[in-house]
Amino acid sequence: MMARSYFVVVALLLLAEVSGFEEGASNPGFVARITRKGLEYARRFGVAILKKELSMIKLPDFSGSFKVGWIKSVAYDFYRLKIHHFELRNSDLRLRPRQGVRASLSNNYVFISGNWKVKKAFVTLDGTFDVSVDDISISVSLNLGKDPSGRPTASVAHCRNSIGHMSVDISGQLSWILNLFHERIENNFKNILEQKICEMVRKSTTSYLEPYLRTLPVILMIDQIAGIDYSLVGAPQVNSQVLDTPFKGKFFGQNWHSPALFDAPSIRLPKKHDHMVYFAISEYVLNTASWVYHQAGRMNFTIQNRHIPPDSPIRLHTSSFRAIAPRLSRMYPNMELELETTPESAPFLTFTPGNVTLMPVIDIQAFVLLPTSSDRKLLFRLRVTTNISATISANSDRIVGSVTTGSKLKLELKHSNVRFINVELMEAILNYYALHTMYPSLNAKLEKGFPLPLPRDTHLNSLELQVHENFLLLGANLD
């Protein structure tokens, strides 16, 4: 049970001083940091859980023996031990540089009751007892690491405990006999408890905490196309001020796991400690998402008449394109058109201090739909460039965003089967479509956002988002 209380603390710590992560294939895409303020939150949370669950702890039975004159050796058993009251007076949770965390409880008090029985030959006596234990101190050090699957690990590196004072009150049939050996029973009780406390801590770590950490998900499916890999790329890194945990943060296709064609850049976190937790999200995370959706063809758009706003003066019809391609309406009278847009490559975001930019290059092909068949014929092909500015923010559990045009679409004619094309007029039409249809559609998707790797039922407040070189930094407090 004891593990149930402090594995919550460890899980919070694994959300989260090193100045940076070196460049290379093992660079994280996502780094979670917990500060000393966050550690204090984890301490309060852990103490609350411990207080709630201490009444459920099952204390071990113990036994012993003593000599009574001519009766010689008499065996006794103490059993059905139950905690009725526990005072957690002092608690502390600290970072252990380059190792992990240390949790300690000191000057604590517990009141325990139970049953006793004494047996000699065919004679059995029994009764009840109360135990008051004061000045209990426990100190547990945990080493944090990662296993080959990228999940966090925690192991007990050191455990120490002591009991200052103990008082045993025995009642029942001939309880005065046991009270004759009051001091010996108290010492025996104290020695057994001191032995059992750290034994229980290590057993709970092995039985509860370690299996729990092995079940933590490292893959999260976003939709039918993509998922994100949240496995650790290294062990949590600790100094006296903060604990940083590096996650891969890479998007992958649901039906393939081919490696991205680029590595994550280094993340050099500033020395910020104002919030409980910080999340550094590399441009690598969002660019692997772009690469996956581009590979899946989800960035290709077909623009048809039904996509054109009803109030638009221009329709995708050969009669509407007389000013753009004068020969078009004569070659294909009264026929519908459609446009296909395809990025030449996956568009990548660039993070610079205070700015997020995107410079996609898009191929647009115009087709005429032949009324006598399902065929279509290529009319012309354009190359489009633009500069897009992105705004990225966060709510309680997701990264969300929106895009606005940084510059108008610029068109270049690459090929034409209808000779002259009025590129400037085509530019105006496409800019109108982008402003009224394409950007709103993209923003609707970005508004849904991407989930942060938070423990269940964890919410953030007092959010602060900053754009740094190669990464976003989100500072927050925990509810």
Position 454 scores a pLDDT of 66
Statement: residue 279 has pLDDT above 80: yes
DSSP state at residue 12:
H
CA 163 – CA 158 distance, rounded (Å): 18
Return d(Cα 230, Cα 247) in angstroms, integer: 5
Distances from the Cα of 104 to the Cαs of 142, 163, 291, in angstroms?
A: 11, 14, 47
Please tell me the distance from the alpha carbon of residue 11 to that of residue 14, in angstroms, as a whole number.
5
Average pLDDT, the chain: 82
In this prediction, residue 382 has a pLDDT band, given cuts at 50, 70 and 90, of very high
Low-confidence winner among 12-16, 345-349, 381-385 (lowest mean pLDDT): 12-16
Tell me, what's the pLDDT at 47? 78
SS3 99: coil
Query: What's the rounded Cα separation, in Å, for the pair 360 and 350?
Result: 11
CATH number given to 37-214? 3.15.10.10
pLDDT for 17? 33
DSSP 3-state of 244: strand
| Contact residues for 363 (Cβ-Cβ < 8 A; gap 6+) | 341, 342, 343, 344, 381, 382, 383, 384, 414
Amino acid at 274: D
Question: Are the C-beta atoms of 303 and 295 separated by less than 8 Å?
Answer: no
**Residue reference for tokens 């290379």:** 24
Per-residue confidence at 462, pLDDT binned at 50, 70, 90?
Answer: confident
Ranges for all domains in the chain classified under CATH 3.15.20.10:
219-478
| 383 burial type by CB count under 10 A (0-12 exposed, 13-18 middle, 19+ buried) | middle
The secondary element (H helix, E strand) that includes residue 7 is helix 2-13
Name which of 246, 5, 36, 278 is nearest 142 in CA terms: 5
Q: Name 166's bridge partners.
A: 133
Q: How would DSSP label each residue in 369-438?
A: EPTTSS-EEEEEEEEEE--EEEEEEE-SSEEEEEEEESS--EEEEEEESSS---HHHHHHHHHHHIIIII
pLDDT tier at 315, thresholds 50, 70, 90:
confident
Q: Please answer whether residues 39 and 239 qualify as being in contact, where contact means their C-beta atoms are separated by less than 8 angstroms.
A: no
pLDDT reported for residue 48: 76
The answer on pLDDT for 91 being more than 50 is yes
Nearest 10 degrees: Cα torsion 175, 77, 195, 168: -10
Rounded to whole angstroms, the Cα distance separating 269 from 418 reads: 55
Range among 54-63, 85-94, 284-293 with highest mean pLDDT value: 284-293
Question: According to CATH, where is 3.15.10.10 located in the chain?
Answer: 37-214
Q: Does 354 or 332 have the greater pLDDT score? A: 332
Say if residues 232 and 152 touch (Cβ distance below 8 Å): yes
The type of residue at 463 is L
Q: Which residues pair with 317 in a beta bridge?
A: 336
Collapsed DSSP state (helix, strand, coil) of residue 179: helix
| 333-372 per-residue burial string, b: 16 or more CB within 10 A, e: under 16 | eebbbbbbbebeebbbbebeeeebebebebebbbbbbeee
Predicted confidence at residue 20, as pLDDT, reads 41
Helix (H) or strand (E) holding 328, with range, is: helix 328-331
The SS3 call for residue 213 is helix
Q: Please give the C-alpha separations between residue 98 and each of 17, 80, 234, 465, in angstroms, as whole numbers.
A: 9, 42, 13, 28
Say what the alpha-carbon torsion angle 63, 68, 70, 75 is, to the nearest 10 degrees: -10
* Model pLDDT for residues 102-128, shown as the tens digit of each residue: 888 888 898 989 998 887 777 788 888
Note the CATH number of domain 219-478: 3.15.20.10
pLDDT digits (tens, 9 = 90+) for 146-170: 899 898 888 888 889 888 888 888 8
- Encode burial over 434-447: b for 16+ CB neighbours within 10 A, e otherwise: beebbbeebeeebe
Structure tokens at 137: 């101190």
What percentage of the chain exceeds 70 in pLDDT?
Answer: 87
User: Which pLDDT score is estimated for 71?
Assistant: 59
Classify 261 as helix, strand or coil.
Answer: coil
DSSP-derived 3-state class of residue 285: helix
Using pLDDT thresholds of 50, 70 and 90, give the confidence band for residue 5: very low
